Structure 1
Amino acid sequence: MSVEPSFAVVGALIGVPARANMMAALMDGRAQTATELAFVAGVTPQTASSHLAKLTEAGLLAVESQGRHRYYCLANPGVAEALEPLTHLTPNQRVPERRRAHARRVGDLRRARFCYDHLAGRLGVALTDSLLKRRFLRRVEGDFRLGPKGRGFLAALGVDIETAEGQRRHFARCCLDWSERRPHLGGALGAALADRLIAAKWLKRDRKSRKVIITAKGEAALPGAFPGSMAALDLDD
């Protein structure tokens, strides 16, 4: 069986910078209009519509119409989980002087961000490490497995484990973090944990990017719930 055709199709689709920028903009799980994605990609609305049509036809994006607007998002969590590790294939490059603002944004994303619907960056890795050190999670065959003590801990925290288990996707995905080069908790359980921390107002989404903001309430609560997590965030780049 040859996998070359699928590699070629996906590679051709995301190999165009405008399309790659659109896909990256949708990696936080939020839907955006064609106009917004055209701005992100730096192309005209007409060109953006052509790119979006190709990505949608290929099954990488989904689209929903509401009134006059059409909202695009990644077709499913599996698309995000497949795209995130691709950044490991290219070495880190020196950022030119004129791109310092971009470098600061990248630094923010490395500290704490969303990988589609779960937490990534130093924060995501630190929370995962805390769960692993207490043996609430363990790695089994490339994914994580939630133990009884971990189930009790997360349930007490208010994480909706039963709903996460009922979803048709990986339950506790071992997702390799592009910036930390170490795994963070993805899948349905990772999404449920992120939802709970936002609902508890320990974290909040940045309105314009994938960045995650740790609130004052979160700074006070996270060290107790996830020992060592805040110390890991304070490490220098």
Structure 2
Amino acid sequence: MSPARSNPAVRFGWDVGGAHVKVSLVDGSDAVLDVVQWPCPLWQGLDHLHRTIDLVFERWPQARAGAAQHAVTMTGEMVDLFADRAEGVRAIVAALAQRLGSSLRFYAGDAGWLAADDCAAGWRQIASANWLATASWVATRMPNALLIDIGSTTTDIIPIVDGRVVARGATDAGRLASGELVYHGVVRTPLCGVAHRIEFGGATLNVMNEWFATTADVYRLTGELDPLH
């Protein structure tokens, strides 16, 4: 799963989402040394991504070094800052390439790891491919499994058989049709997306079609979500 490299001292794995950016630091022996998630409301502008990159450099000064390698997945290309997903991929790639240098590769599924200059043509393989990156790595450790990845916004349900990812859908649209992608997460899902009617105070009530509460409120009340997140 690792991009081609000449045994760099450090590598950074990025997942650029529409609401958060996750970055991990890995040493030359593939040991994960540190992982951090930062809020990044990308729909409000690319300046939020640049501020997050500043935070990465502040936490890990070695991320600026030419010897550091950066490997990226993304889902942020779908936010409504961009006219379409192709534009989103191009914009995110350009922003990262400007700050991270040439030792930068983007995960593109079966197409491998693409350099920034190849991403405009390969945007379909790059857009929202993080689920496949996760599943392909898990498949090397667990040849038969059902991977359930629950995030802030969505849940991925991915079958793995005989060391292969055998999801019926290959794109977000296909996985929405197959039920392998569910828009239900632990932070950003409005409660009206979970239930239409609930029992409360001895009566059955309609649920407001509003953003007054989300699943984050539920998981904070149950003690399962740190208020920091």
Whether TM-score is above 0.5 comes out as no
When normalised by structure 1's length, the TM-score is: 0.22
When normalised by structure 2's length, the TM-score is: 0.23
More strand by share: 2
